[in-house]
Amino acid sequence: MTEKLAIKGGRRTIPEGAIKKWPPIDDVDRKMVMEALEGNVLTTGPNCQALQEEFAVWNGNRYAITTNSGTGALHMCVAACGCGAGDEVIVPAYSWSSSATCILHHNAIPVFVDIDFDTMNIDVDRIEAAITPRTKAIIVVHLHGLAVDMERVTDVARRHGLKVIEDACQAHGATFKGKKVGTWGNCAAFSLNQNKCFCSGEGGMFVTDDEDLQEKAKQLWSFGETRTPVEDRDYHAYALGWMYRNNEIIAAFGRAQLTKLDGYLEAQKANAQRMTECLRGVPHLLLPAEPEGFEHDWYNYTIRFDMKALGHEEDAAAFRDEIMKALQAEGVQTAVWQRFILPAMTVFRAKNGYGKGCPWSCPHAAPVDYSPDNFPVAQKHADSHTGMTTPLRAPNGPEVAELVAKAFGKVMKNVDQLEDLE
Ligand SMILES: Cc1ncc(COP(=O)(O)O)c(C=O)c1O
């Protein structure tokens, strides 16, 4: 039956206000934030200390350092792993920009590896071919909350003497073979920004089980000093330092949210499961996978459109945008997460991070090839996906997943109505 799409003047599927905002705020958050605000310390203090201890316990790490962003925590990983001038670090060709710019932050050179279409994660089969005598580390990104096959990655790393850094910014609670992300590599970074499953507004977490890496990361975190602000500082910069510390108000909010995180993640899994059940059978959708042995955290429920079947392989990104606008008109909060693959971003294309060609012109560096044509799978993914975060999050329940799936069904069954859009 033909139904007029909302974008064509039909009735929208999801009523205004049906999707609740993220994250839910309750009296636990209010109490802890107000207590922090009224305390004596606003900078790094007891809440920061407690947050990192509580997160280390929650994730199963020996050490955690609370930071003001996931990007700061990633930079700490790169530095702690000893990556420096001219060293190469392997990273997937599709991710958030700072999964790769964190490598530049320490004067090292990103080497991109294409992704696997099904998992959307780095194609582990291609990692070995990207290793050179200058390779120091592999950054894996557990994209959208699906873990990378860490047994295979750590095996490659062990054989080549490389460090493994986990970008777990999107993957709180995700597991591979029952073991949480952030406990597989040498160290890992989490983000706690507004959109993340564990949210404190902004913020991040560096984690490791290695005391030496923890010491190196801590030095970079606070001005190159060896003592933290809660210790007796000598205010001496022993090494190159940044300022990636967190503060008490954010940390108190993070601690409040952490008490609710397991419940949020359970709700998210149930919602994702319902979404998948309802979307099965909707034409031309490629639904996200959760292979055997992997437990997704469903940070982002990412759907690809089958552009070949739709007859839009040539103008995939433009047609995807039309479908997305039609979904948005039906009330679905969906968006393209990253439209550009990393090697196509100007910061890498221009090879001029610090000016004068640095760090690529460093005498210790060798040429690297960032031609986007080398990463066709990442490009296909970038051009054909749309994703959702808030509709799957608490306090939204399975009824929201059902509504979203209904809207997808309506748009995809009437997709011919989009063909004549300007
Ligand atoms: C995969 C990935 N890596 C790194 C980051 C950076 O985290 P932050 O925004 O906390 O710096 C993000 C955040 O969006 C991310 O999604």
Residue 195 CA: nearest ligand 1 atom is: 14
Mean of pLDDT over the chain: 97
Question: Strand 301-305 vs strand 385-388: parallel, antiparallel, or unpaired?
Answer: antiparallel
What pLDDT score does 229 carry?
Answer: 86
The pLDDT tens digits of the residues spanning 119-139 come to 999 999 999 999 999 999 999
Answer whether residue 348 is part of any domain: no
Decide: 164 and 185 in contact? Cβ < 8 Å.
yes
Q: Are strands 163-167 and 285-286 parallel, antiparallel or unpaired?
A: unpaired
Mutational test site, ligand 1, from 65, 74, 94, 96, max ligand atoms within 8 Å of CB: 96
∠95-141-304 over CA atoms, to 5°? 55
Residue 200, both tokens: 């404190």
* Residue 364 located in a structural domain: no
List the structure tokens of 152. Answer: 């295979």
pLDDT at 420: 64
pLDDT value of position 1: 66
Quick check: is 355 in a domain? no
> Would the CB of 110 count as within 6 Å of ligand 1?
no
Nearest alpha carbon to residue 65 among 196, 230, 184, 180: 230
In a domain, 316, yes or no: no
Return the H-helix or E-strand segment holding 64: strand 63-67
Domain count, the chain: 1
Tokens 């802890």 belong to 32
Task: Tell whether 145 is covered by a domain.
Answer: yes
The CA distances from residue 375 to 69, 104, 116, 118, in Å, are: 28, 20, 10, 15
CB of 29 shorter than 6 A to ligand 1: no
Q: Which has the closest alpha carbon to 34: 192, 226, 233, 256?
A: 256
State residue 422's pLDDT score: 46
- Cβ of 71 less than 6 Å from ligand 1: yes
> Could you give the 3-state DSSP secondary structure of residue 281?
coil
121 within some domain: yes
Q: Is 298 a pocket residue for ligand 1 (Cβ < 6 Å)?
A: no
Query: The pTM is what?
Result: 0.98
CATH number at 161 reads 3.40.640.10
Asked whether residue 321 is assigned to any structural domain, the reply reads no
Q: Which pLDDT band, with edges at 50, 70 and 90, does 73 fall under? A: very high
Phi then psi dihedrals of residue 222, to 5 deg: -135, 80
- HSE on the CB side for 415, CA within 13 Å? 21
Residue 191 belongs to a domain: yes
Pocket test for ligand 1, best of 66, 74, 98 (most atoms within 8 A of CB): 98
Domain housing 239: 27-259
Q: What does the pLDDT look like over 168-226, one tens digit per residue? A: 999 999 999 999 999 999 999 999 999 999 999 999 999 999 999 999 999 999 999 99
Q: Which of 65, 169, 194 to mutate to test the pocket of ligand 1 (most atoms within 8 A of CB)?
A: 169
Q: Would you say the CB of residue 197 lies under 6 angstroms from ligand 1?
A: no
Q: Does 98 sit in the ligand 1 pocket, CB within 6 Å?
A: yes
